[in-house]
Chains A and B, each alone.
Chain A
Amino acid sequence: MEYLVVFLGLMVLLFALGVPVAISIGLTCLAVLAIDGGISAIPTELFALQMMRGLNSFPILAIPFFIFAASLMNVGSVTNRIFDFANALVGHIRGGLGHVNVVASMIFAGMSATAVADVAGIGQLELKAMRDRGYPMRFAAGITGAASIISPVIPPSIAMVVYGWLSGTSIAALFIAGLIPGIIIGLALMATSFIVSFWIDLPRSPRASCLEIARLFWRALPPLLTPLIIVGGIWSGIFTPTEAGAVACVYALFLAFVVYRDVSVRDLVGVLERTVRFTSVIMFIIAIATFYGWLLVRLRIPQELALALTSLDVSLTVILFLIAAFFLVIGCFMSVVEAVLIFTPIFMLTVQSLGIDPLFFGVLMVITLSVGVITPPFGNVLFVLVEIVGIPFEKVVRAVLPFLIPIITVIVLLILVPDLVTWLPSIIQ
Chain B
Amino acid sequence: TAQAQDVIEVHNTMSAGGSEEAAMLRFKEIVEERSDGSFEVNVYSGGQLGDEVEVLELLNLGQTQMALTGGAFMGQYAPEYDAVSVPFVFPNWGAVEHYIMETESGQAMQQVSRERGNLHYIGPQMRAFRHMTSTPAINSPDDLEGLKMRLPQIPVWVDVWEELGVQAVVIPAPDIYLAMRTGQVEAHENSLASPYTRQLWEVQDHIITTSHLSFPWHWVASAPWWDGLDEADQEMLTEAVHEARQHGYEVELEKDEFYREGLIENGMTFIDVDQAPFREKAAPAVERALADKADSVAADIEAAIAATEGQ
Contacts and interface: CB of A to CB of B under 8 A. Distances in A.
Q: Do A and B bind each other?
A: yes
Interface of A: 43, 45-46, 49, 53, 168, 170, 172, 236-238, 240, 294, 297-298, 300, 428-429
Contacts of A300: 42
Nearest to B61: A45
Given A53-B50, A297-B48, 20 more contacts: A43-B61, A43-B63, A45-B63, A46-B58, A46-B63, A49-B57, A49-B58, A49-B63, A168-B46, A170-B174, A172-B175, A237-B178, A237-B179, A237-B181, A238-B182, A238-B184, A240-B175, A294-B49, A294-B50, A429-B177
Nearest to B177: A429
B54 interface: yes
A49 B61 contact: yes
The 4 closest A-B pairs by CB, nearest first: A237-B182, A237-B178, A45-B61, A46-B63
Contacts of B61: 43, 45-46, 49
Interface in B152-185: 172, 174-175, 177-179, 181-182, 184
B175 A237 contact: yes
A428 B180 CA distance: 11
A286 B91 CA distance: 46
Nearest to A49: B57
A341 to B, nearest CB: 16
Nearest to B180: A237
B49 A298 contact: yes
Contacts of B42: 300
Contacts of A236: 182
Contacts of B175: 170, 172, 237, 240
A52 to B, nearest CB: 9
Contacts of A43: 61, 63
Nearest to B16: A352
Contact of A429 (B58, B178, B179): B178
Contacts, number: 43
Contacts of A240: 172, 175
Interface of B: 9, 42, 44, 46, 48-50, 54, 57-58, 61, 63, 172, 174-175, 177-179, 181-182, 184
Given A43-B61, A49-B57, A300-B42, A237 B49 contact: no
A382 to B, nearest CB: 37
A132 B107 CA distance: 81
B184 A237 contact: yes
Contacts of B44: 297
Contacts of B182: 236-238
A345 to B, nearest CB: 9
B175 to A, nearest CB: 7
A122 to B, nearest CB: 32
A145 B128 CA distance: 55
B177 A297 contact: no
Nearest to A171: B174
A298 B174 CA distance: 26
A49 B49 CA distance: 12
A237 B61 CA distance: 40
Identify the interface centre among A168, A240, A298, A429: most chain B CB within 10 Å of its CB.
A298
Identify the interface centre among B9, B50, B179: most chain A CB within 10 Å of its CB.
B50
B61 to A, nearest CB: 5
Nearest to A46: B63
A297 B49 CA distance: 7
A341 B22 CA distance: 31
Contacts of A429: 177-178
Nearest to B54: A53
17 contacts: A45-B63, A46-B58, A49-B54, A49-B58, A49-B63, A53-B50, A168-B46, A168-B174, A170-B174, A172-B175, A172-B178, A236-B182, A240-B172, A297-B48, A298-B49, A300-B42, A428-B178
A146 B75 CA distance: 52
Contacts of B178: 172, 237, 428-429
B181 A428 contact: yes
Contacts of B57: 49
Contacts of A428: 178, 181
A240 B179 CA distance: 11
A236 B54 CA distance: 33
B187 to A, nearest CB: 16
A170 B44 CA distance: 21
Nearest to A295: B49
A296 to B, nearest CB: 11
A237 B174 CA distance: 12
A53 B51 CA distance: 9
Contacts of B172: 240
